[in-house]
Amino acid sequence: MVTASIEIFLSHANKDKKIAKKFADELNQYGLKIFVAHEDIEIGDKWESILFNKIKECDLFVTLLSKNFHSAQYTDHEVGIAYGLNKLIFPVRFDDTVPYGFMSKFQAKKISPEIDKDEITKLFFAMVSKSEKGTEMIHKLIEEFGDSDSYDRANKTSDILSQCTDFSDEQLNQISYTFLHNDQIRDGFRSGRWCTDLIKSNWKRLDKDLHYRLEKHM
């Protein structure tokens, strides 16, 4: 998977630490660097300064909202620091809790407590699309897609990319180019079908010099 430099601070209630760990483990597969508050601090560490520095350094501040969040000892404090540092706050909830206070202007994404893999993939793209580094990550993933040396790899990477709903014109052209030049992608059962559907639905956004070459595959 893509190696990323995007750093995420995951704020959560201690009562939800098992879900937070599973959530972080799933996102780690996409190359994100995730600091799990309360989990990644060693005994004896000066935790207040560590939390402040980690929030200051993060690219995205994610809150794992639940009925336990507001009553936890330090979560609102962490949100206040993130807001004061003008960090992009990304609320994620797994019950009926809605963003409040400093978080209220941000729309929350809901996931199931079981942490469904498809939900995580969609969440990954929703997160990374918020930053310049995230755009670079998607570019790298498309490059990896273009380097697919087997149908299996092409299919698996297309399964991930298919969860992204907001490609730029440059990314669409890059995908179209890889479709033309890599038969593992073009002839892959899922990858070929996904590319074809994506190209057809975005035909007017593609470079005109690609149209002639793509037409015979449509």
One-letter amino acid for residue 156 of the chain: K
Q: Report whether pLDDT(153) > 90.
A: yes
User: Which of 34, 35, 85 lies closest to 56, judged by CA?
Assistant: 85
pTM of full prediction above 0.75: no
Query: Which segments of 9-63 does DSSP mark as H helices, in order?
Result: 17-28, 47-57
The contacts of residue 54 (CB under 8 Å, 6+ apart) are 9, 35, 37
Query: What are the tens digits of pLDDT across the range 77-132?
Result: 899 999 999 998 999 999 999 999 999 888 889 988 888 888 888 888 888 777 77
Rounded Cα–Cα distance for residues 174 and 188 (Å): 18
User: Which of 83, 59, 205, 24 lies closest to 132, judged by CA?
Assistant: 59
Q: Which domains does the chain have, with CATH numbers?
A: 7-116 (3.40.50.10140), 133-215 (no CATH)
